[in-house]
Amino acid sequence: MGTDALSFLTPKARQALDFASTATLTTQLLDRGLRNTFLHGLTHANPRQPRLLGEAFTLRCIPAREDLDVLSVFRDYDHPQRKAVESVGPGQVLVVDARGKSRAASLGHILATRIKMRGGAGIVTDGSVRDMAGFEKLELPVFTAGASATTNLALHHVVDMQVPIGCAEVAVYPGDIMVGDRDGVVCIPRGLAEEIALDAMEQERLEEFILEVIEGGSPLRGTYPPSPETLERYHRLREERERSR
Say if residue 231 carries a ligand binding annotation: no
C-alpha 3/C-alpha 178 separation (Å) is 12
What radius of gyration do the chain's Cα atoms show? 20
Asked whether position 60 contacts ligand OAA by CB under 6 A, the answer is no
Question: To 5 degrees, how large is the angle CA 88–CA 39–CA 101?
Answer: 80
Question: Is residue 174 within 8 Å of 57, Cβ to Cβ?
Answer: yes
Nearer to ligand OAA, 107 or 196 (CB): 107
Among residues 56, 61, 84, 105, which is the contact residue for ligand OAA, using CB under 6 A? 105
Residues 113 to 142: which contact Mg ion by CB under 5 A?
131
Asked whether position 151 contacts ligand OAA by CB under 6 A, the answer is yes
Backbone angles phi, psi at 62, to 5 degrees: -120, 170
Say if residue 131 carries a ligand binding annotation: yes
Interacting span for ligand OAA (CB under 6 A) from 18-26, 32-40, 103-111, 234-242: 103-111
C-alpha 54/C-alpha 227 separation (Å) is 36
User: What does 14 bind: Mg ion, ligand OAA, none (CB cut-off 5 to 8 Å by kind)?
Assistant: none
Shortest Cβ 145–ligand OAA spacing (Å): 15
Residues in the chain, how many? 245
Residues placed in the known binding site for Mg(2+): 131
